[in-house]
Amino acid sequence: MQFFEFTEEQKMLRKAVRDFVEAEVAPKAAEWDEQDVCPIDVFKKLGEMGVNGICIPEAYGGAGQGFVERTICIEELARHSGGLAMTMMTHHLGAALISQYGTEEQKKKYLPDLCSGANIGGLAVTEPGGGSDFIGQKTLAEKKDGGWVINGRKCFITNSHNADVTVVTAKTGEDEKGRNKLSAFLVEKGAEGFTPGRKEHKLGLRASVTGDVALTNVKAPESALLGKEGGGSKIGLEGISEIGRAGMSAICVGLLRACVEEAVKFANERIVYGKPIAKLQAVQFEVAQVRMAYEAARLLTYYAAGLKDNGIPCANEVATAKLFSTEAAVQASKRTMDLMGGYGVINEYPVGRFLRDALTSLSSGGTSHIMQIIIAGNTLTNFQP
Ligand SMILES: Cc1cc2nc3c(=O)[nH]c(=O)nc-3n(C[C@H](O)[C@H](O)[C@H](O)COP(=O)(O)OP(=O)(O)OC[C@H]3O[C@@H](n4cnc5c(N)ncnc54)[C@H](O)[C@@H]3O)c2cc1C
């Protein structure tokens, strides 16, 4: 058995991203949250550093690293801005699916600009009929004149208004049991009939854009099909799970670390009874709980990323990491607020934002109920300690 430790290269990556985040993200994160703006200029700079294409092969302009390295980048971003981390993690989702399932032509066309920071990626599967009912999607793609015509509506889509290329799933047929067969398409910003609609005013992760996209007679050539016809369920589910949920888990690891660091800082600085509150045992209990949650979430999340890097199926491990990390981040940010007394609710301190970001992470990529269904299903049929 090996102990969990980053390699020297991974530590160097973490330091480079941490230094960047402390200089360029930390001073602005509260402002982006308050104004609800996505900092595209910073996103582009991260592209120049290699973060946007972290897990894309070098042949297509990426950094040629894996999902552990991607998790390091997202944790560091989320330490100061959950919203920017959300923009990045969803961008990774779109780019990684193109890298994994795209034709050579598609990879050459889209990946270099997605890696450099010039372009943004996204994934649109959720519909007004319920994100949990993935297979029940109503968006329809019909064959016409040698290509496809897509009609439907997607909602809660991250990067809805700023993605240059979005992986969109749609129904293209039914199987013998009458269940939807889905296919995935690459739809470009500005394509006729592809219109961003309502932009959501969210509780948290506010430095990311979330909104509707309408598809009205969108013409997609055969070359826009990602993977095989009928392969969209696998592409969508794998993307949501191993890349999307894993990304949400990484965001919450970053939020948990933020709670540990803010709790320690405040407990050492706040003087009550003439001494720092860090000397009070009740405060120490809160610090211990928050630290424990961070360490556990970190192990689960990096373990799942390591499985993915080794080509080992990890839907159950990702669901476990996502459920634990998101719920733990909600609890830990509330604990940190409690520890701060009245200051916890003063917006000058970032902890209220961490709580809002953690709450907003709960449903994205699948709710806690759905995570429990996945974990229970795996445990009841396939528990191999
Ligand atoms: C900030 C944010 C960003 C997002 N980004 C994207 C994105 O980029 N792309 C994208 O496609 N989607 C995105 N989503 C959508 C997200 O994946 C969905 O919100 C999620 O899948 C839940 O779907 P829903 O909101 O429609 O809830 P519903 O599916 O309507 O669920 C409502 C309630 O019913 C419960 N429920 C549903 N089914 C079951 C069941 N079988 N058993 C038990 N309970 C059940 C749920 O747990 C929940 O409590 C985003 C969401 C958020 C909040």
Domain ranges of the chain: 8-120, 123-230, 234-382
Of ligand 1's listed atoms, the one at least distance from the Cα of 366 is: 21
Integer Cα distance of 248 and 36 in angstroms = 19
Measured by CA distance, the residue closest to atom 38 of ligand 1 is 132
Burial code of 138-175, b = ≥16 C-beta within 10 A, e = fewer? ebebeeeeeebbbbbbbbbbbbbbbbbbbbbbbbbeee
Residue 95 pLDDT exceeds 80: yes
pLDDT the model gives residue 1:
66
Residue of higher predicted confidence among 35 and 2: 35
pLDDT at 385: 86
Please state whether the predicted TM-score (pTM) of the whole model is above 0.85: yes
pLDDT tens digit sequence for 358-371: 999 999 999 999 99
Element (H, E) at 217: strand 210-221
Q: Which CATH superfamily is domain 123-230 in?
A: Butyryl-CoA Dehydrogenase, subunit A, domain 2 (2.40.110.10)
pLDDT > 90: percent of the chain: 98
Distance between Cα 325 and ligand 1 center (Å): 17
Please report the pLDDT score of residue 375 as a whole number: 98
C-alpha 364 to ligand 1 mean position (Å): 6
Per-residue pLDDT, averaged over 164-169, amounts to: 98
For 97, the token pair is: 């699916």
* Substitution site in 123, 138, 156 for ligand 1 pocket (most atoms within 8 Å of beta carbon): 156
Alpha helices in the chain (DSSP H): 8-20, 29-35, 40-49, 67-80, 82-101, 104-116, 232-238, 246-269, 281-309, 315-339, 351-361, 368-382
Give CATH for domain 234-382.
Answer: 1.20.140.10
Ligand 1 mean position, distance from CA 365 (Å): 7
User: Do the Cβ atoms of 151 and 218 come closer than 8 Å?
Assistant: yes
The atom number, within ligand 1, closest to the CA of 373 reads 42
Ligand 1 binding residues, C-beta < 6 A: 90, 122-126, 130-132, 156-158, 205, 210, 360, 363-367, 369-370, 373
Architecture of domain 8-120: Orthogonal Bundle (1.10)
Residue of minimum CA distance from atom 6 in ligand 1: 157
CA 107 to chain centre: 22
- Under the banding of pLDDT at 50, 70 and 90, the label for residue 322 is very high
pLDDT tens-digit readout, 254-305? 999 999 999 999 999 999 999 999 999 999 999 999 999 999 999 999 999 9
Mean pLDDT of the chain: 97
Q: What is the number of the ligand 1 atom nearest to the C-alpha of 154? A: 11
Q: Of all protein residues, whose CA lies closest to atom 51 belonging to ligand 1?
A: 364
Centre of ligand 1 to C-alpha 7, Å, is 36
